[in-house]
């Protein structure tokens, strides 16, 4: 898969934190003119992610698919698993390059050479051990922890996940309280991308719907300032769509059978 302008296409959902990781990397590496994007509708249909006309979503003009699973079947006719986002698609070979967000972020970081902004390095050699350690701790406790709380089917499982979420938020609040702008210090890295995509969804979805309700993000001074700092990086705000986030999460039948989408919360402190 050679790095070529216009050869690759990114399929994403703006509700999805994992897909949003790739959008942020694409923005920061200035790859908007190199890699095109399609956005699915925020609510999962009975056939999974669907292309359509919800504001901020697109039809699939590239491949003419109605549902994302059609692209998985096109790439691998025997595919029977879940069709997930993000998807990095090769227009030339008409196949999926990768559908794992962590891999795609690193491809965007180093795989496009002079086509990208080489002054931005989201995984610098000198910080890799620290980034890897942060990723390994933040993912189970927080990134995935909110989902384990939200989809828990027993009280014990919910409480364990809930405690893990807030233990990690407390740890991160203390880490950022020393005045550092980002997790590893002055450099914005992929560890920050991974944290940010969960934080930006916290008050809008995880606090209420997923019952992670000890405190809001807004009640954490250092984490709130950090989230605003990341939002204000060039291009990052463009990847955040609170309407998609709320409509997507609150359309989950098992958690919200009537699919009523809340009008709040007030996110004006973040400029949203």
- pLDDT, one tens digit for every residue, the chain (272 residues): 899 999 999 999 999 999 999 999 999 999 999 999 999 999 999 999 999 999 999 999 999 999 999 999 999 999 999 999 999 999 999 999 999 999 999 999 999 999 999 999 999 999 999 999 999 999 999 999 999 999 999 999 999 999 999 999 999 999 999 999 999 999 999 999 999 999 999 999 999 999 999 999 999 999 999 999 999 999 999 999 999 999 999 999 999 999 999 999 999 999 99
Please say whether the beta carbons of 212 and 204 come within 8 A.
no
11 catalytic? Reply is no
212 catalytic? Reply is no
Going along the chain from its start, the domains and CATH numbers come out as 8-115 (3.40.30.10), 125-233 (1.20.1050.10)
Closest CA to 251 of 18, 6, 45: 45
**How large is the greatest C-alpha to C-alpha distance in the chain, in angstroms?**
53
Return d(Cα 100, Cα 16) in angstroms, integer. Answer: 13
DSSP 3-state assignment of 96? strand
Residue 152: the pLDDT is 98
Which of 8, 11, 139, 147 is flagged as catalytic?
A: 147
DSSP 3-state assignment of 169? helix
Residue 231: the pLDDT is 98
Which of 16, 158, 206, 207 is flagged as catalytic?
A: 16
Sheet containing strand 8-12, edge to edge, reads 35-39, 8-12, 87-90, 95-98
The DSSP H or E segment spanning 161 is helix 155-176
Closest CA to 25 of 267, 165, 230: 230
């Amino acid at each position: 898969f050679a790095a070529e302008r216009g050869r690759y296409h990114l399929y994403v959902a703006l509700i999805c934190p994992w897909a949003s990781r790739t959008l942020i990397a694409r923005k920061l590496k200035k790859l908007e003119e190199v890699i095109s994007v399609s956005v699915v509708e925020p609510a999962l249909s009975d056939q999974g992610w669907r292309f359509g006309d919800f504001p901020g979503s697109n039809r699939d003009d590239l491949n003419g698919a109605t549902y994302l699973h059609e692209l998985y079947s096109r790439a691998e006719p025997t595919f029977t698993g879940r069709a997930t986002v993000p998807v990095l698609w090769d227009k030339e070979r008409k196949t999926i390059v990768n559908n794992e967000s962590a891999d795609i972020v690193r491809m965007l970081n180093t795989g496009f050479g002079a086509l990208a902004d080489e002054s931005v390095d989201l995984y610098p050699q000198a910080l890799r051990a620290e980034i890897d350690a942060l990723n390994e701790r933040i993912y189970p406790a927080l990134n995935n922890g909110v989902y384990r709380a939200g989809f828990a089917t027993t009280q014990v499982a919910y409480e364990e996940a809930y405690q893990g979420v807030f233990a990690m938020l407390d740890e991160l609040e203390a880490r950022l309280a020393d005045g550092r702008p980002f997790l590893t210090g002055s450099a914005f890295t992929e560890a920050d991308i991974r944290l940010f995509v969960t934080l930006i969804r916290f008050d809008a979805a995880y606090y209420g719907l997923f019952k992670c309700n000890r405190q809001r993000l807004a009640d954490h001074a250092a984490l709130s300032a950090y989230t605003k700092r990341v939002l204000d990086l060039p291009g990052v705000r463009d990847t955040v769509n609170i309407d998609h986030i709320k409509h997507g999460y609150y359309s989950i039948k098992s958690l919200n059978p009537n699919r009523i989408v809340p009008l709040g919360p007030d996110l004006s402190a973040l400029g949203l």
